[in-house]
Amino acid sequence: MKDRIYLSSPHMGGNEIKYINEAFEENWIAPLGPNVSNFEKEICKYTNASYATALASGTSAIHLALKSLGVKSKDLVFCSSLTFSATANPITYLGATPVFIDSDYESWNMSHIALQKAFDYFLENDKKPKAVVIVNLYGQSADYDKLKKICDKYEVPIIEDAAESLGATYKGKYSGTVGDIGIYSFNGNKIITTSGGGMLVSNIEKYTKKALFWATQSRENERHYEHKEIGYNYRMSNICAGIGRGQLEVIEDRISKKKQIYELYKEGFKDIKEIQMMNICDYGRSNYWLSVMTIDKNSKVKPIDIILALEKENIESRPVWKPMHMQPIFKDYKFFSTLENQSVSEDLFNQGVCLPSDTKNSLSDFKYIIDIIKKLF
């Protein structure tokens, strides 16, 4: 069996162990400590966000972002359909109702056309969402000028799910800082990792401050343990934050390598007309987290053929995210499509493949992957 080639696995930069050792030497093994507060400051410095709260996961960050915006039981929350379930699940934690919005073909992210349809439908029934959760998919920002114009018109705040897009930009602003609240994920497969963890960022202090309060069990500022609100054990650990600090030092190197991987695939498949790499929009920089392609519907080669051919060689690849409105758990919730008789997100799911994008892989690894796929055509 050949050595496993992963989709996107952790890639240490070298200084992570320094911050971890400092935590051990100073006995900051408890949940909080200097690494946590410094990691928050360093994320703010990197992204130009004003405030940050380090949390246990990107999912917990979305949960507290929704709660910060006052989302409660039976409220409506509009949400990108083409995403991982962690984007939508926290809406249900609060008893709110998710409404799923289709993508566009240009960015693969939320469509302003579908978003407007959703607003029109619910406003006719004297309802509007409490928040809109917009995902920046596979490392690329959504087209926020179009989306924000609609949300601002109806005075509805945006939660920017930048779990996959730390380091990307939109018209000069870093991904995660365009909406009212942004969230990042540092899961093991992301462009940088803390092994597990997340971050909530905002330019409005009350959101991060309240998130911090809830994330530390809603403990009141009293000598004894006083609680007036339900809290959560959502704070990032000092050890994990140490890993994150070391990772953040090499993020630009990781983005550069991820872009190189994308370009290798694009060049490698340029003569196969059935293959189309995910479009990179010119309104900002992608972090190229995963290189993703689609296969023409009329091709004899199907996405599953590529996945199985790579799997046979111990190479990991995956389908594109299955849209939330297609998931059994969410099938009864409303969905608004971009086109009249076609769902863009379903189309991308049915035709898409996430290719191995691990920054530890060698040039020969990627040439090998490209050769396997080309032989199928």
Query: Is 128 considered catalytic here?
Result: no
Which of the following is catalytic: 190, 270, 302, 331?
190
CB atoms under 10 Å from CB of 113, counted, come to: 17
What CA–CA distance (Å, rounded) separates 141 from 147?
11
Q: Encoding tokens for residue 98?
A: 């998710």
Calculate the alpha carbon distances from 238 to 36, 43, 49, 200, 221 in Å: 5, 15, 21, 16, 22
What CA–CA distance (Å, rounded) separates 344 from 35?
42
Alpha-carbon torsion angle 113, 116, 120, 122, nearest 10 = 120
What CA–CA distance (Å, rounded) separates 358 from 342?
33
Q: Which phi and psi angles does 101 have, rounded to 5°?
A: -115, 135
What CA–CA distance (Å, rounded) separates 377 from 372?
10
- The sign of the dihedral angle between the CA atoms of 156, 137, 96, 230 is negative
Neighbouring residues of 123: CB distance < 8 A, sequence distance ≥ 6: 154
Q: Note the residue count of the chain.
A: 377
Q: Encoding tokens for residue 335?
A: 């969905």
Neighbouring residues of 291: CB distance < 8 A, sequence distance ≥ 6: 258, 261, 262, 265, 277, 278, 354, 355, 357
Calculate the alpha carbon distances from 138 to 93, 193, 240, 293, 298 in Å: 25, 16, 23, 11, 25
Catalytic residues: 190
